[in-house]
């Protein structure tokens, strides 16, 4: 008779050679920890007063900052036929790009072009995270609450998403991010059936980042996590830095960060005409630069984080036709693209360095 | 304010730490890390003892903390630590029928699972928790527990099949 799973687990977890845990030593550590927390609470009275000041003086301006006015004159898009297979010899040209935060509102008649809707630098994200953390948890150096209460690690029912490998045109693989209840795995290749949420990669509802706010940042012993929450509180960016030294006690530039798009299980509109996004994330923390997009009429919404090393611009192709071109934006940003007339859905994104050499190439959907 | 009962805490640690460490080991795959996780959870329990003792079962709280800490740790380290990492286990002289091989397959199978699916399977089939209790422990819905458990069992079954072992993974109990 085959052993059942309980017997297998029981045998696998044989701890007969493990020394017992010293309860008295734990008790001593616990008492010490309580003493420290008690002392911290006394100190924290003053900190809370300061945090209240921060909340009053800082958050209104942060939250009420609201959407950045969209651009009025998106830079033009060269729509000449190109050959994606040999871009290194014919690097696409990039028209001058106006400042994203100073351009006047766009005209309603916009039919083509690329517009940076919102850009939040990592330093600014970290600053906001720090403010938020101070208001919620006290001054820098205050221990992050260590007791994990029910559901506390999954605020608002949101989860870190699974990472689904996507195959690039050149045969290499990267990841995109999809809703899931499991933590990301860089080492596993999930096999999903048609209809599985993970098969819907690229079809997640995603509002733009115009009013996204930092919802949480916490440092762990292995890195730092910052979360930007969408204004509808149904999606968020999860910026995760693996590396010692990253801490909320200091501004961190997020080098080598991974950025995920998160969705809660309550999120309903994963498909359809809503602006959507998916993240192109590499397994080795290779910079993320594009949150993907879906078509919304003649518009495409996308966004991202860091650009590939050396990249200075990205070009979207529909087949062999170049349909949009964008400079590189470092930071967490939202971008809107209008497809030129008769252009199909972009099927390829290529990143170029200053010499016109392709530094990245992948499918945007 | 409830009083912190140190005697009761020590009694609880002496009585429950072994089971908690075994659960942690199955979730994280490493005895050293399992001990760290359990100690961390028990320290949190001590801090929260007055509240927890007055409101809910301390064992459920401790187990929930162990598993969530393990999941968080696994999330950061991206992958479960291999059982072959670090100092290898000493050969077991009392293993005439190859139990170590089977254990290795079990741990390899668990290692292949996403963290939450692994936790679901361990809580359901090692700790014998109900779907509802597992959901409470992990802070997820019962539907998530069912789907994650089912997914975990499928992956475990595949691992066993690759190892040429025909084992009753479900034990007659549906996820």
- What DSSP letter does each residue of B119-170 carry, written as one string? HHHHHHHTS---HHHHHHHHTS-HHHHHHHHHHHHHHHHHHHHHTT---BSS
For residue B162, give how far its alpha carbon lies from the nearest alpha carbon of chain A (Å). Answer: 16
Neighbours of B82 (CB within 10 A): 12
Query: For residue B38, what is the nearest residue in chain A, using CA coordinates?
Result: A21
CB B158 within 8 A of CB B151: no
CB A285 within 8 A of CB A257: yes
Which among A329, A333, A185, A203 is positioned nearest to A263, based on CA atoms?
A203
Q: Kindly give the confidence (pLDDT) of every residue in chain B, 175 residues in length, as a single tens digit, with 9 standing for 90 and above.
A: 345 678 888 888 888 888 899 999 888 888 888 888 888 888 888 888 877 776 667 888 888 888 887 777 665 443 333 222 322 223 333 433 445 567 778 888 888 888 888 899 999 888 888 888 888 888 888 888 888 888 888 888 888 888 777 666 544 344 4
Q: Does the CB of B170 have a partner CB in chain A at under 8 Å?
A: yes
pLDDT beneath 50: ranges in chain A = 1-2, 37-110, 117-118, 122, 125-190, 195-297, 299, 301-303, 305-306
For residue B86, give how far its alpha carbon lies from the nearest alpha carbon of chain A (Å). Answer: 16
State how far Cα A82 lies from the chain centre: 31
Percentage above 90 pLDDT, chain B: 2
Torsion of CA A91, A97, A101, A102, to 10 degrees: 180
Size of interface A-B (CB pairs under 8 A): 163
CA distance A360 to A93: 17
3-state percent breakdown (helix, strand, coil) of chain A, nearest 5: 20, 25, 55
Q: Which residues of A119-158 are buried (b: 16+ CB within 10 A; e: fewer)?
A: bbebeebbebbbbbbbbbbbbeebeeeeebeeeebbeebb
Q: Does the CB of A18 have a partner CB in chain B at under 8 Å?
A: yes
CA distance A297 to A334: 17
| ipTM field | 0.80
A295 to A274, A276, A346, B106: CA distances (angstroms) = 8, 8, 9, 45
Any bridge partners for residue B168, and if so which? Answer: A4
User: What is residue B171's predicted lDDT score, i.e. its pLDDT?
Assistant: 43
Kind plus residue range of the DSSP H or E element containing A132: helix A122-137
CB A200 within 8 A of CB A271: yes
Mutation for A interface: B3, B19, B44, most A CBs within 10 A: B44
Mutation for A interface: B126, B149, B157, B175, most A CBs within 10 A: B126
Question: Which of residues 75 through 134 in chain A touch B, CB cutoff 8 A?
Answer: none
Name every chain B residue with its beta carbon within 8 A of the beta carbon of A37: 47
CA distance B135 to B158: 25
Question: Which of residues 56 through 75 in chain A touch B, CB cutoff 8 A?
Answer: none
Which among A275, A200, A216 is positioned nearest to A248, based on CA atoms?
A216
Q: What is the DSSP string of A189-229?
A: -----TT-GGGGTT--B---STT-EEEEEEEETTEEEEEEE
Query: For residue B92, what is the nearest residue in chain A, using CA coordinates?
Result: A17
List, in order, residues 6 or more apart from B139 with CB less than 8 Å away.
A150, A151, A152, A153, A154, B64, B68
Q: What is the pLDDT of residues A334-348, one digit of tens each?
A: 556 667 777 776 677
């Amino acid at each position: 008779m085959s052993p059942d799973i309980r017997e297998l687990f029981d045998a696998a977890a044989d701890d007969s050679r493990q020394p017992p845990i010293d309860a008295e030593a734990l008790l001593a550590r616990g008492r010490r920890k309580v003493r420290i927390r008690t002392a911290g609470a006394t100190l924290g009275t003053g900190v809370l007063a300061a945090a209240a000041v921060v909340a009053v003086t800082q958050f209104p301006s942060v939250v009420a900052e609201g959407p950045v006015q969209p651009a009025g004159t998106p830079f033009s898009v060269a729509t000449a036929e190109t050959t994606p297979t040999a871009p290194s010899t014919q690097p696409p040209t990039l028209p001058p790009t106006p400042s994203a935060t100073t351009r006047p509102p766009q005209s309603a008649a916009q039919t083509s072009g690329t517009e940076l809707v919102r850009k939040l630098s990592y330093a600014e994200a970290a600053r906001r995270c720090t403010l938020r953390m101070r208001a919620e948890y006290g001054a820098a150096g205050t221990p992050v609450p260590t007791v994990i209460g029910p559901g506390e690690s999954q605020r608002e029912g949101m989860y870190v998403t699974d990472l689904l490998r996507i195959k690039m045109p050149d045969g290499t693989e990267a990841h995109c991010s999809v809703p899931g209840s499991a933590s990301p795995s860089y080492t596993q290749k999930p096999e999903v059936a048609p209809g599985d949420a993970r098969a819907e990669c690229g079809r997640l509802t995603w509002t733009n980042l115009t009013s996204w706010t930092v919802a949480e940042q916490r440092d762990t012993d292995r890195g730092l996590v910052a979360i930007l929450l969408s204004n509808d509180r149904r999606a968020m960016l999860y910026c995760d830095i693996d590396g010692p030294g990253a801490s909320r006690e200091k501004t961190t530039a997020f080098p080598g960060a991974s950025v995920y798009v998160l969705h809660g299980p309550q999120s309903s509109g994963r498909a359809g005409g809503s602006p959507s996004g998916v993240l192109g994330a590499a397994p080795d923390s290779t910079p993320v630069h594009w949150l993907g997009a879906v078509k919304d009429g003649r518009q495409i919404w996308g966004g991202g984080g860091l650009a590939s090393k050396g990249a200075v611009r990205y070009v979207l192709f529909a087949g062999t036709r170049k349909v949009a071109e964008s400079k590189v934006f470092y930071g967490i940003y939202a971008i809107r693209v209008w497809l030129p007339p008769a252009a199909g859905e972009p099927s390829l994104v290529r990143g170029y360095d200053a010499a016109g050499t392709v530094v990245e190439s992948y499918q945007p959907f | 304010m409830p009083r912190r009962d140190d005697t009761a805490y020590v009694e609880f640690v002496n009585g429950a730490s072994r089971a908690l460490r075994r659960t942690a080991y199955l979730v994280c795959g490493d005895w050293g890390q399992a001990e760290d996780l359990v100690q961390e959870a028990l320290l949190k329990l001590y801090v929260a003892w007055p509240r927890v003792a007055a409101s809910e079962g301390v064992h459920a709280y401790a187990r929930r903390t162990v598993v969530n800490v393990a999941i968080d740790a696994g999330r950061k380290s991206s992958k479960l630590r291999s059982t072959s990492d670090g100092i290898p286990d000493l050969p077991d002289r009392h293993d005439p029928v190859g139990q170590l091989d089977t254990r290795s397959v079990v741990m390899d199978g668990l290692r292949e699972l996403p963290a939450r699916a692994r936790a679901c399977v361990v809580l359901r089939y090692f700790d014998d928790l109900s779907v509802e209790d597992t959901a409470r422990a992990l802070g997820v819905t019962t539907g998530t527990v069912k789907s994650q458990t089912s997914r975990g069992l499928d992956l475990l079954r595949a691992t066993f099949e690759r190892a040429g072992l025909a084992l009753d993974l479900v034990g007659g109990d549906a996820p």
